[in-house]
Amino acid sequence: MRHLTKILGFLLITPLVHLPAAAQNGEQLFKQTCSACHQMGRRLVGPDLTGVTERRTKEWIHAFVKSSQTVIKSGDADAVALSTEFNGMIMPDQSLSAGDVDQIIAYFQTFSATAPAGTTEVAATAEVPVEYTDADRETGQALFVGRTRFANRGAACISCHNVTNDQVMLGGGFAKDLTGVFGRMGNAGVAGILGAPPFPAMATTYANSPLTEVEIHSLVAFLENADKVSAQQAPKSAYMPFMVYGGGGLIALLALIGLHWRGRMKKGVKHDIYDRQLRSI
Ligand code: HEC
Ligand code: HEC
């Protein structure tokens, strides 16, 4: 299936772009697996990767994409510096083959060659500050806690995440606390993650029920405010977490199991045999 998608993508782009084959495939892979956090020409959740093939060796990029934490923990000076610069934000391990990474590197190379840092079209478009209204913040909060359902019926964020906010009950401990996430990632970063979640558990949850543009805007508005007012919020009781963590984890687990089993037969094969047996008696 994955190969089919790759081949289809390849056929679609081939007539349009005059890049070497590997680079075209690499561009596809990059858009699918990396672009929630990286863009060429500007910093997003992760660094701008323009010219990365000039500052790092191929081996380094391979190792880092396979397991960034291993490279950081090995004490590699460049990796440690990056990790510090990005506040210890963890780049999730990517389950790509070495061949896939080679193709992404080929894409990086053509990009650097054809568009040196600072002269790209992307860099030229200045970031437009996003305006949030009170209505956006309220809609976002209602969506976050599940008071309003998502148009495509995805799970409420609170089943996995907590935000420390007096307006909001304690959330799940399955995934990171999002109270200060806006401060760390900014609008483009958070919106990027919500548009194409790069984390397996979250990606599975929203794969068939993506968030809409408006929902993403509202959620980011809520998280921006949650970050701004976080200092004035009362910490929640130390008692509650266990109950809610358990509940949130259970809901998340059930949702994942539901997704996983959706395509299965409702009745087992044995049931048919059993019925036939009964009739033949
Ligand atoms: C969830 C966000 C996220 C995703 C998804 C992600 N990265 Fe990263 N990446 C980061 C962060 C953050 C850093 C900075 C280093 C750190 O904090 O670990 C980084 C650093 C890098 C670097 C080092 C950059 C430099 O200047 O040396 C490379 C190369 C890289 N990423 C490639 C990729 C590739 C290729 C993919 C897709 C297969 C990918 N990343 C997916 C967040 C991400
Ligand atoms: C099924 C559980 C689940 C649901 C539901 C979920 N997420 Fe996540 N989310 C995760 C996981 C797992 C991560 C990876 C980081 C971690 O392990 O905590 C993550 C990461 C994130 C991050 C990056 C955090 C960081 O600091 O790196 C943001 C932002 C985020 N989620 C926002 C949301 C929002 C907004 C919603 C609701 C639309 C949502 N998530 C729903 C599981 C979930």
Say what the pLDDT of residue 10 is. 47
Angle at CA 44, nearest 5°, toward 40 and 49? 35
Ligand 1 lined by 106 (C-beta under 6 Å): no
Q: Is the pLDDT of residue 240 over 80?
A: no
Nearest CA to ligand 2 atom 33: 157
pLDDT band for 173, please (50, 70, 90 cuts): confident
Encoded tokens for 223: 């998280």
Say what the pLDDT of residue 19 is. 65
Q: Is the pLDDT of residue 161 over 90?
A: yes
pLDDT band for 113, please (50, 70, 90 cuts): very low
Is 229 or 260 the better-scoring residue by pLDDT?
Answer: 229
CA distance 171 to 144: 10
CA distance 268 to 188: 47
Radius of gyration for the chain, computed over Cα atoms and rounded to the nearest angstrom:
22
Q: Is the pLDDT of residue 127 over 90?
A: no
Encoded tokens for 5: 């998608």
- Which ligand ends up closest to the CA of 72? 1
Is 14 or 72 the better-scoring residue by pLDDT?
Answer: 72
Among 28, 34, 80, which residue has the most ligand 1 atoms within 8 Å of its CB, making it the best to mutate?
A: 34
Say what the pLDDT of residue 238 is. 44
Which amino acid, 139?
T
User: In this predicted structure, which of 5-19, 45-59, 190-204, 250-264 has the lowest mean pLDDT?
Assistant: 5-19
Ligand 2 lined by 221 (C-beta under 6 Å): no
Mean pLDDT, all residues of the chain: 80
